[in-house]
Amino acid sequence: MSSLLTNSTAMTALQTLRSVSSQLATTQTRISTGQRVSTASDNAAYWSIATSMRSDNAALSAVSDSLGLSAATVDTEYTALNTVIGDKDSGLTKLQALLVEAKTAGIDRSKIQADVTQIQAQLKSTASSATINGINWLSIDTSSGSTATPTSFSLVSSYSRVGSTPTIGSITVTTATYALYTTGGATKTGILDTVSGGSTGASIDTIAIGSLTDSAADQTKLDGYIAQVTAAIGSVASAAANLGAVKNRISTNTEFVKSLMDSVDRGVGQLVDADMNQESTRLAALQVQQQLGVQALSIANNSSQSILSLFR
C-alpha cells in the first residue's frame, strides 16, 4: 500500500543510516583517541581496571624517582668510605704504612707526624663532604636535640597493591653502622673518633707520634696505634661492603620497577587500546555503508513522487 503519511521504506532506510552514523562516530572517536575504551560509558569494568592500573603506575613512577635519589645517596656515602680506606698514597691505608714506618729506630717521627696530621684532616674533610640532599651518614650528630641525625633512614624500594591495600617496601639503613665521626654526644662513638685505651688513649683522629722515641713504652704505643688503624680499616671496609650490598639491591629494584611499569603499561594497552588495523578497516566499510544509506533514503523519499502520476 502506498501512503503519503507513512513511508515505511524511508523509515527503515533512516534507521539504518542512523545506526551506521552512530557506529561511524564511535569508530572515528577510537581512531582519534587511539582507545576503544576511553570513558566509563565505553566499558565500565575495563575502564575501572585501567584507571586503577594507571594509578599504580604513577605510584611506581614515584618509587622509581625515590630509588634514584636513594641510589645517589648510597653512592655518595659508598664513594666516601672507599676514599677513607684509601690506598698506598692516601687514607687509612697510608696512615697505617706511616705508623709502621715510625717503628723504625732513629727515624724522625716529627716529620712523619706532619703527614699523619694531613691524613687526619683529609679523612675528616672526606666524611663531612659526603653530604647529599642534607643527608650525611659518615659524620653524624648524636645529640638529643632537633639537629640530631636520625638513627635510621628508610629508602623506598617498592610498591604493591592487593585489593585496596597498598604496601610500600623500604630498605632500612642504620646510620651508626657507617658513622666515622660523631658530634653532640657525651662521648665519641664514630669509627675514627672513638678513643681507644681509656682516658689516656687516642682515637684515629687524634693519634700523635711526633714526640715518641725508640723506648719500649713508645714502641708499644706505636703497636697499639697500628692495631687501632688496622681495626678501623676493617670496620670501614665492612661498612663499605654493607653499603655495596644496599647499592646492588637498589640497582636491582630500579630495573625491576622499570620493567614492572612497562608491564603495567602493556596491560592497560591490552584493555583499552584500539586495534588501528581493525578500526581503519571498519571505518572504510562504514563510510561505504553511510553513502549507500544516504542513497537508499533518497530513493525511498523519491518513491512517493510516483503517486503524483496517478492524479494527472
Q: In whole angstroms, what is the distance from residue 54 CA to residue 156 CA?
A: 20
Q: In whole angstroms, what is the distance from residue 186 CA to residue 194 CA?
A: 12
**What pLDDT is attached to residue 125?**
95
**What pLDDT is attached to residue 4?**
63
Checking DSSP bridges between strand 152-162 and strand 165-174, what pairing results, if any?
antiparallel
Q: In whole angstroms, what is the distance from residue 142 CA to residue 52 CA?
A: 44
Range of the domain at 160: 44-272
**What pLDDT is attached to residue 220?**
92
Domain-embedded: residue 118: yes
Domain-embedded: residue 304: no
Give me the half-sphere count of Cα atoms (radius 13 Å) on the Cβ side of residue 27.
Answer: 18
250-302 residue pLDDT tens = 999 899 999 999 999 999 999 988 888 888 898 889 889 888 888 888 887 77
Q: In whole angstroms, what is the distance from residue 282 CA to residue 52 CA?
A: 30
Domain-embedded: residue 124: yes
Domain-embedded: residue 301: no
Q: Would you say 28 and 311 are in contact if contact means Cβ atoms under 8 Å apart? A: no
Sole residue written with cell 640530631: 148
Q: In whole angstroms, what is the distance from residue 213 CA to residue 223 CA?
A: 13
In 3D space, the residue among 269, 272, 263, 270 whose CA is nearest the CA of residue 44 turns out to be: 272
33-61 residue pLDDT tens = 888 888 888 889 999 999 999 998 898 89
Provide the CATH number for the domain around residue 64: 1.20.1330.10
In 3D space, the residue among 242, 58, 60 whose CA is nearest the CA of residue 157 turns out to be: 60
The three-class DSSP label of residue 58 is helix
**What pLDDT is attached to residue 289?**
87
Q: Supply 171's cell numbers.
A: 630498605
Q: Would you say 183 and 228 are in contact if contact means Cβ atoms under 8 Å apart? A: no
Supply the pTM of this predicted model: 0.78
Domain-embedded: residue 19: no
Integer-rounded Cα radius of gyration of the chain: 39
CA distances from residue 32 to 26, 27, 273, 283, 291 in whole angstroms, order as listed: 10, 9, 12, 12, 22
Domain-embedded: residue 171: yes
Give me the residues of the chain with pLDDT under 70, please.
1-6, 197-200, 310, 312
Q: What percentage of the chain carries pLDDT values higher than 70?
A: 95
The three-class DSSP label of residue 191 is coil
DSSP string, 207-260: ---TT--SSHHHHHHHHHHHHHHHHHHHHHHHHHHHHHHHHHHHHHHHHHHHHH
Report the number of distinct structural domains present in the chain. Answer: 1
Q: Would you say 274 and 30 are in contact if contact means Cβ atoms under 8 Å apart? A: yes
Q: In whole angstroms, what is the distance from residue 291 CA to residue 16 CA?
A: 11
Domain-embedded: residue 312: no
**What pLDDT is attached to residue 198?**
56
Q: In whole angstroms, what is the distance from residue 217 CA to residue 223 CA?
A: 10
Q: Supply 120's cell numbers.
A: 687526619
Count, residues in the chain: 312
Sole residue written with cell 670496620: 235
In 3D space, the residue among 40, 48, 95 whose CA is nearest the CA of residue 205 turns out to be: 95
Domain-embedded: residue 292: no
**What pLDDT is attached to residue 96?**
95
| Amino acid at the residue 226 | I
